[in-house]
């Protein structure tokens, strides 16, 4: 009977505790108590969340054998932990089948030395901080979650639920994992390789006119999408449109369109088996050469490498 222990640190975010729902629902769907659950901390006793509410916890050493160790932290990365604390976490991780750092909990794994030489992710807004703190870790800030052997990391708080469902899928199969996702009203179970955020949301223009032009561009990526075409959609002159667009988004229209094309192409590459030349045409790059150049500028690797990484991640989850 696998035991899942969620380990809290002071200042943890309550939402992170929601990952237990995936394991609870697995028990419901199995019709038996397949997983047992505990909420623990290194010292035990009440642990205060970022919102000021305390949660009772069991002392980690008293939890008993742990199959899956989940490290939960807060809205900001946890400060460096005392070496004695890290030693106790390392000891428990060694005894566990797998360990996961949810959102900023990945920083705890980094402090424990479990991410050295590995790929890892965390909330995109702290990716740079993680790279600086742990130069031996290959931080990928555009991933929902990453599985490196027995070590898992996830992006922002809700991505922890995607990771939890993936853990259940490893144990009990895709059918139960899919049922859990439906019960949790998740739009779909996101694969680990999916991007953390949308370029359209990232641009966040303030006026309806610029927003309308962006939505049009997103829906017509195969069009040339010149400044003149987008300006016409926004009912502005090309000069007015270019000036307003940069003021509201901080980017030129051409750069924004390229970012949306990259996002669309990457999703097609990761989630479909379309030939690369078809992906290039449908995302508006016209040909594979232009798409490859854009991928090298943005991601530092060609489209074929992105597809290989996505398939490798999917294979890891399926095992």
Listed in sequence order, the DSSP H helices in the chain are 20-30, 83-95, 105-112, 127-133, 159-172, 174-183, 199-203, 208-219, 227-234, 238-249, 253-271, 276-282, 288-299, 303-318
Ramachandran assignment for 301, one of left (phi > 0), alpha (psi -120 to 50 degrees), beta (any other):
beta
Q: Is 118 a catalytic residue?
A: no
Catalytic member of 16, 39, 60, 103: 103
Q: How far apart are CA 223 and CA 70, in angstroms?
A: 46
Q: Which residues contact 199 (CB under 8 A, 6 or more apart)?
A: 256, 259, 260, 262, 263
Backbone angles phi, psi at 294, to 5 degrees: -65, -40
3-state secondary structure of 98: strand
Q: The tokens of 318 are what?
A: 């399926």
Query: Which residues does the annotation mark as catalytic?
Result: 103
């Amino acid at each position: 009977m696998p035991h899942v222990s969620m380990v809290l640190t002071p200042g943890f975010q309550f939402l992170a505790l929601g990952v237990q729902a995936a394991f609870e629902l697995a028990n419901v769907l199995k019709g038996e108590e397949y997983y047992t659950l505990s909420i623990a901390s290194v010292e035990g006793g009440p642990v205060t969340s970022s919102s000021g509410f305390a949660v009772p916890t069991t002392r980690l050493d008293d939890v008993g054998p742990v199959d899956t160790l989940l490290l939960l932290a807060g809205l900001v990365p946890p400060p460096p932990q005392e070496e004695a604390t890290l030693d106790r976490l390392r000891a428990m991780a060694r005894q566990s089948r797998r360990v996961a750092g949810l959102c900023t909990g990945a920083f705890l794994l980094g402090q424990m030395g479990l991410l050295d030489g590995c790929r890892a992710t965390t909330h995109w807004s702290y990716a740079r901080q993680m790279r600086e703190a742990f130069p031996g870790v290959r931080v990928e800030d555009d991933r929902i979650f990453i599985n490196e052997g027995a070590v898992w990391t996830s992006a922002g708080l809700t991505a922890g639920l995607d990771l939890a469902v993936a853990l259940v899928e490893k144990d009990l199969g895709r059918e139960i994992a899919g049922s859990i996702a439906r019960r949790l009203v998740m739009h779909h179970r996101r694969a680990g390789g999916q991007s953390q955020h949308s370029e359209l949301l990232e641009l966040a223009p303030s006026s309806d006119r610029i927003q309308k032009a962006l939505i049009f561009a997103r829906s017509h990526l195969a069009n040339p999408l010149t400044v003149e075409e987008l300006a016409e959609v926004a009912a502005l002159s090309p000069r007015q449109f270019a000036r307003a667009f940069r003021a509201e988004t901080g980017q030129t229209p051409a750069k924004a369109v390229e970012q949306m094309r990259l996002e669309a192409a990457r999703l097609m590459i990761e989630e479909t088996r379309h030939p690369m030349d078809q992906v290039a045409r449908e995302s508006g790059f016209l040909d594979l050469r232009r798409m490859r150049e854009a991928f090298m500028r943005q991601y530092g690797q060609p489209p074929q490498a992105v597809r290989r990484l996505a398939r490798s991640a999917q294979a890891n989850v399926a095992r």
